[in-house]
Structure 1
């Protein structure tokens, strides 16, 4: 529920600001550009809602900094999931959900950002934006854990998997632009 209210409020705020901006500037509106930009903004709101919210307010004991989990060893999850799967196949479903979820979560970022911003139409730049956005989420999750608001783990594997998703989205974007009429629209942006 908290996520729906968050995304809804931000959407109304964004639409209001956009309408006021266009009324004041009196510039022609490129509807395709505005739709893609709106999709990117909505995507960002949804990612923040999924990764940052809900924020739990604890009224008793809170989580201590000493008990916080920060995983900085790349691909440590493979060994950990293998161990857990040997104990119970239930963990296989969790492992698949975690890996695919982290990859799929950033595919839209890699797809939409190059459509809007020319400077992000190369792999290095899109990988950079994916890493920065993912690292931001992990730092916020660490802060939430430190402050006792959430029970999340900060994990370098999430950053790596998010970057993989961003690159996949970038390749889809390239195929989409090359093999469609979208190339004409993109030249105007």
Structure 2
């Protein structure tokens, strides 16, 4: 490895470590109110190459992806099981849950705070603390995308509503469990 490649690698690792520490610290610090009023803390992600955002208040963690443990189930978006803080969590492909087809590969996992679920995402762009003027409310919501579009670092990102997404997933799984048993001859 050339010295310039090694330096570039070290710079990237330092940036990733800084992001990880900043992300972890955002959960440890009390919520701050200042001249912005109630600022929103968001995580920028990519799905099918498009920018989206998730509310940090709805997340318990962000992990680099690894190979999930396979789990035999008839749920198309289920990628397998992962371990997080002593708990086995189902890992779902967020792109598939949003109806945008299966992901060709995820690089990050987000752990949800309200449900024992992890979601695989293709890209992580950063996190931002947004003042009210960077939040644009649209006329209505579309599927799992909330009625909010956020301006993050000059780029517009729809905010994904995780609550309705998890409710729909839970209802879908409950419906599968209530399938009538096959009668034996």
More helix by share: 1
User: What TM-score, normalized by structure 1, do the two folds share?
Assistant: 0.25
TM-score, structure 2 as length reference: 0.26
Higher relative contact order (CA 8 A, sep 6+): 1
